[in-house]
Amino acid sequence: MNSLELVKILENLLRIKEQTDKLQFDTSNNVKIDIANDEIGLATETTLSSINDKLTQFKITEQELSYDNSTGTATANYTVFTNDISIDFNGVIVIQIAINTATTVQLKLTPSGSTTSHTYYINSASSLTANSWYEFEFNVSNGDAINFVIQVPASATLSGYLRIFGRKR
């Protein structure tokens, strides 16, 4: 390394130090940012709001899954929620599901402003593996309604857990 390269590196380090010296920390060692006087250029109010909205995830509902088809001779369709779940935001729903039986699961969607429901397989119509944890994301619009239909094989008792989170966009 020649002396010119070394000087450039030192100049860059000094510039970084000047900027980091301006940082202020709260009692938890989080960086405090004064949006109105952002000398460092870390954020603007719209950037912070946008990031906060995209990162804020909230629970919509959760449901223990239980369906007894142990005496059944054919696959039974188990609709998870008695009433469809109404969506009151534009964004993404995150579905977390674990079940004890390898089977397929469908998302039932009634689009905003429609009375017609559409049912779509999740996981590319492949069976979910028994006793495994899955997460799926779906775009939703304000006014949509959703539900889930699980195919319970004959002679099986299904149990598991389903949780739905939302994330606004």
Query: Phi and psi dihedrals of 51, rounded to 5?
Result: -65, -45
Answer for the pair 106, 122: CB distance below 8 angstroms, yes or no.
yes
pLDDT confidence of residue 80: 94
pLDDT confidence of residue 5: 76
pLDDT confidence of residue 34: 55
pLDDT confidence of residue 10: 78
Bridge-based pairing of strands 145-152 and 85-86 is: antiparallel
Chain-centroid distance, C-alpha 84: 19
pLDDT confidence of residue 65: 92
Q: What are the percentages of helix, strand and coil residues in the chain, rounded to 5?
A: 20, 45, 35
pTM of the full structure = 0.66
pLDDT mean values, one per 10 residues, the chain (169 residues): 74 76 70 54 51 67 90 92 93 92 95 96 93 92 95 91 87
User: Distance between CA atoms of 96 and 117, rounded to whole angstroms?
Assistant: 22
Report the CATH fold assignment for 58-168: Jelly Rolls (2.60.120)
Chain-centroid distance, C-alpha 79: 22
pLDDT confidence of residue 45: 46
Domain ranges of the chain: 3-53, 58-168
**Which pair of tokens denotes residue 128?**
């979910």
User: Distance between CA atoms of 144 and 142, rounded to whole angstroms?
Assistant: 6
Answer for the pair 90, 140: CB distance below 8 angstroms, yes or no.
yes
